[in-house]
Structure 1
């Protein structure tokens, strides 16, 4: 499933076309994806303008001038592509070809652009694990998708002090605490593994060990907060990880996966300078964890 950097990459790819555009027509080609569409999905969008595009955790949010928010989740294989009158191709060299079979084009947004141009944004999803919904902006924070989400890990909101507050007294492994969406929203398996490696922290270590007896963050807590942000930022700059079906909105793939230090590198030498360790894979909460048992403590 796409993680935060992949969703942020898609958001940045869609925003120049989608923000400020008028939705002249919406094609809804099936009654449901992972969940049913709202009964009045097409009617509530047609003739409306997109005022802003944002992201919360792994959700894309399009604010509509009616006061509604279009919630979009990519699921396992969902992707968007942009087609306009000039270019209907999907540029880029593909490590993994994105699905373009029109039978999986489940939603098509027809846009009139502020510069008098036009475009189509097409949502394709072979596995149909993604979904879309419409919710009034005033109700968004209380919606079941969002009401229990933790803080966003990008920006200055995440710090060692915040981790100390979140992890105090927790007996769960550090990796499980970082994946807990009620604590920190949007972190997934890949970037947690990478962040822990950068910080020299074992995924098996108890989360509470990053908190002193007085409730203050340890130096490792400060380092982890910094590395979570840096790892996500590096992945976003690289365009996401391009694992399996993920592509940027313009069709190009990101290449951060070529920089993975531990994820999916079982048996490979650790990339920490002067470390003699070998990347090991273990299963935690039914997920693969990759780490170096020598330099991650």
Structure 2
């Protein structure tokens, strides 16, 4: 039943830990998910916070989902949106967008906790150069699914007979699950590729125990039951595999290597020009940027 188990690689970003699950050498994507980061949990003292300076994306959609805290998003199509627990920020980069992610003034002044998941969804070839867009959905807009001892929120796509209102580009599912110790539920089986990520707690799958920070990638033919050993928070994700290969460099994803090279050139030349009359621009009220890595 189990194809692969991935343990998150923790990276300290100056008092703030990020645990990366995919991509890894043995598994580049799960369905269209090409990037999966577990942020925190972290506590920021008053005056401290997150400051992810403006940076570009192409060929993907970003999804931010928080369990605790808040984060401000600004982008080059004029969106300024605060995301809070249970909400969804879905940003389609398409042919190119620049955004920043920062702790808002009120949260920074008061001190706050931050805990969440950030994912990237690779776009089908026919949508890789789509117009950039941004959609925000509050927690109250997302379908809630309940089983005995199990509570689910459908973030993206279709699962268990429900459909999320978030506009997507290929078959996909993404669920936030809270399950009580002793509960058993069946993993949705209508999707080609599926994975379970254990945010906290402990679960049993196919007779094996898995705990915090582990992603279990499952055989696409298997009917999977999940037994909760200790109260658990899980993220379930997957969908249809995308035809063809996907290349990834820094924040760029594409089916074409030459498109990645073009994006690298465009970001560097835009920075050299001070983001004036260039391919990439900065969000309003922003003057910083993250340089192209070596």
Q: Which has the larger radius of gyration?
A: 1
Give TM-score scaled by structure 1 length.
0.25
- Higher-strand-fraction structure: 2
- Higher-helix-fraction structure: 1
Give TM-score scaled by structure 2 length.
0.25
